[in-house]
């Protein structure tokens, strides 16, 4: 089920896996994250808008990563290459962007580490899943 080299089933599965991993991850590290982000637990509110924005963003990430992995060429869409691509996208774009943004916003390294690990998990999950599904 591919269009233009992108397997949309893989994209959907990758986005769902990333979303669930984020829920589990921040469920485990939520208190540390709130402290690092300077959020009072009493003021922490989830809304359907935040949840929808997160999932739609992860769909876009998975679709984009599938496009990047697809550019490796026929026969190169593998779990290994998906993991490598996910790691490189994380290092080159996700980790650097959140680090710069959080430094300018005055947050400490604890927040960058917590968020950075989350996005590494997301990038590796997405890359591995997309690589496993292939085209």
pTM here is 0.92
Sorted by where each begins, the domain ranges of the chain are 2-133
pLDDT tens for each residue of 18-40: 999 999 999 999 999 999 999 99
Judge whether 124 and 87 are in contact, CB under 8 Å: yes
pLDDT tens for each residue of 51-63: 999 999 999 999 9
Judge whether 57 and 98 are in contact, CB under 8 Å: no
Residue 133 buriedness (CB in 10 A; 0-12 / 13-18 / 19+): buried
pLDDT tens for each residue of 80-93: 999 999 999 999 99
80 contact partners, CB below 8 Å, separation of at least 6: 131
Q: Alpha helices of 1-135 — where are they, by DSSP H?
A: 8-36, 48-70, 79-89, 95-104, 109-133
Q: What is the mean pLDDT of residues 97-110?
A: 97
């Amino acid at each position: 089920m591919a269009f233009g080299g992108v397997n949309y089933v893989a994209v959907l599965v990758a986005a769902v896996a990333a979303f669930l991993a984020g829920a589990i991850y921040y469920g485990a590290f939520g208190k540390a994250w709130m402290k690092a982000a300077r959020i009072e637990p009493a003021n922490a509110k989830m809304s359907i808008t935040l949840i929808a924005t997160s999932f739609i963003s992860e769909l876009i990430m998975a679709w984009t990563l599938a496009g990047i992995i697809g550019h490796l060429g026929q026969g190169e869409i593998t779990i290994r290459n998906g993991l490598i691509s996910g790691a490189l996208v994380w290092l080159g774009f996700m980790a650097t962007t959140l680090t710069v943004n959080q430094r300018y916003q005055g947050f400490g390294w604890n927040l960058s580490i917590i968020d950075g690990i989350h996005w590494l998990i997301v990038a590796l999950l997405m890359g591995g899943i997309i690589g496993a599904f292939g085209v």
